[in-house]
Amino acid sequence: MRQKLLLMAAGGTGGHMFPAQALAEAMLKRGWRVKLSTDARGARYTGGFPHSTEITEVSSATFARGGVLAKAMVGPKIVGGVLSMVMQMRRDRPDAVIGFGGYPSIPALGAATLMGLPRMIHEQNGVLGRVNKLFAKRVAGVACGVWPTDLPDDALGEHVGNPVRGAVLERAGAAYIPPGDYPMSILVMGGSQGARVLSDVVPGAISALPENIRQHLRVSHQARDEDGERVTAFYAEHGIDADVQPFFHDVPTLMSEAQLVISRAGASSLADISVIGRPSVLIPFAAAVGDHQTANARGLIDAGGAIVIPESKLDLQSLTEQITSILSNPTAALQMSAAALSVGVPDATERLVALVEQLAEKDKS
């Protein structure tokens, strides 16, 4: 009996790749073959994918980067990628195609559209990304990670949540130890690519905390490669126990052990925070398309699970005050943890699996 084939298309950043990884894990367990179409940049985030995932790199490009010559080559690269995917799909026809956003998903979704194959997209954010917006009316449906999501007229959306990796699910709802007069930890996350503004402000804010809080702290701080040395030096100079890395492979463990998370408001990060259930101070990326990170954070804010500081208002004093307000109030921290957990969608992967299987079955009927 022929194995069913799911073709996933994603790329660009971990925000697109992590939910694709979660879906791949689930579909493989259900006996499907799984292919991932991405580009060289996206391939950097495939280390955690199951080994049986078939990964193919495809030609694509974006107008957002590069000079005049690079921009002139965008069209030909995309066309070449689409034609390549058409040939691949003719040889190995997928039962369903799903795009997770990012320009590397254009070739697979474009080819599936030309061939009339069953297709859908998953949008992680509260505002559609450029590529997903392009295809929203050309697919069977939009699986939404955040609700409500701003969708075009005539686009069919359904809230499924953002799938999280198995390592996160293993720590879903892990018991929260509120802040107190004992060792505590703070996890600082800037998204899969780090965030310079957090490296500029967070160390100073932590060093300015009252001594009765600061003396108990252990900080895990994600920083860009070029910022790592100065951030490490600052923490050391101020006697703060800190581990500074460009990327943490054990984020679920670090998050489950943390009394507080300081983070950007990327969709994958917020999904992890809400499924594990941790208080957070969020600094949405001001330049995000459509201010989607602020939209992402809306659910956690409304539930009382997070405090948001707009990037334009972020400074040492404001951040120090918010960190202090949480770490000096165990009752409030416990309430924030429970509130964060209340908006988590731990079964997001199962919901997305159901939509993929419905899509494949509908094509046969």
Q: 306-357 pLDDT, tens per residue?
A: 999 999 999 999 999 999 999 999 999 999 999 999 999 999 999 999 999 9
Quick check: 294 and 40 in contact, CB under 8 A?
no
Query: Which residues 6+ apart lie within 8 Å of 204 measured at CB?
Result: 234, 316
**pLDDT band with cut points at 50, 70 and 90 for residue 73:** low
What is the residue type of 16?
H
pLDDT of residue 66: 57
Mean pLDDT of the chain: 93
For residue 245, what are the domain limits? 169-343
pLDDT of residue 246: 92
Task: Please name which of 195, 257, 253 lies closest in space to residue 221, comparing C-alpha atoms.
Answer: 195
Q: Kindly state the average pLDDT of the residues 147-158.
A: 92
Residue 56 and residue 174 in one domain? no
pLDDT of residue 204: 98
What's the N-to-C CA distance of the chain in angstroms?
19
126 is in an annotated binding site: no
pLDDT above 90: residue 219: yes
pLDDT above 80: residue 69: no
CATH number at residue 212: 3.40.50.2000
256-282 residue pLDDT tens = 999 999 999 999 999 999 999 999 999
pLDDT of residue 64: 56
**pLDDT band with cut points at 50, 70 and 90 for residue 59:** confident
Residue 325 and residue 357 in one domain? no
pLDDT of residue 60: 66
The total of structural domains in the chain comes to 2
Residue 246 and residue 264 in one domain? yes
Q: Which residues of 267-304 are buried (b: 16+ CB within 10 A; e: fewer)?
A: bbbbbbbbbbbbbbbbbbbeebeeebbbbbbbbbbebb
CA distances from 7 to 123, 132, 241, 283 (A): 16, 16, 44, 34
Q: Kindly state the average pLDDT of the residues 77-84.
A: 89
Residue 289 and residue 305 in one domain? yes
CB atoms under 10 Å from CB of 40, counted, come to 12
93-121 residue pLDDT tens = 999 999 999 999 999 999 999 999 999 99
Residue 136 and residue 219 in one domain? no
Residue 339 and residue 221 in one domain? yes
pLDDT of residue 44: 84
Residue 137 and residue 280 in one domain? no
Residue 338 and residue 325 in one domain? yes
pLDDT above 70: residue 70: no
Q: Is the pTM of this model over 0.75?
A: yes
**pLDDT band with cut points at 50, 70 and 90 for residue 51:** very high
345 vs 47, which has greater pLDDT? 345
Residue 149 and residue 270 in one domain? no
Residue 185 and residue 325 in one domain? yes
pLDDT of residue 192: 57
215 is in an annotated binding site: no
pLDDT of residue 68: 59
Quick check: 113 and 234 in contact, CB under 8 A?
no
pLDDT above 80: residue 74: no
Q: Tell me the C-alpha distance between 333 and 338, whole Å.
A: 9
14 is in an annotated binding site: yes
Task: Please name which of 292, 290, 289, 245 lies closest in space to residue 267, comparing C-alpha atoms.
Answer: 292
161 is in an annotated binding site: no
- pLDDT above 70 as % of the chain: 94
pLDDT of residue 193: 58
212 is in an annotated binding site: no
Residue 321 and residue 354 in one domain? no
165 is in an annotated binding site: yes
Residue 157 and residue 173 in one domain? no
What is the residue type of 300?
L
What is the residue type of 297?
A
312 is in an annotated binding site: no
pLDDT of residue 13: 77
pLDDT of residue 112: 98
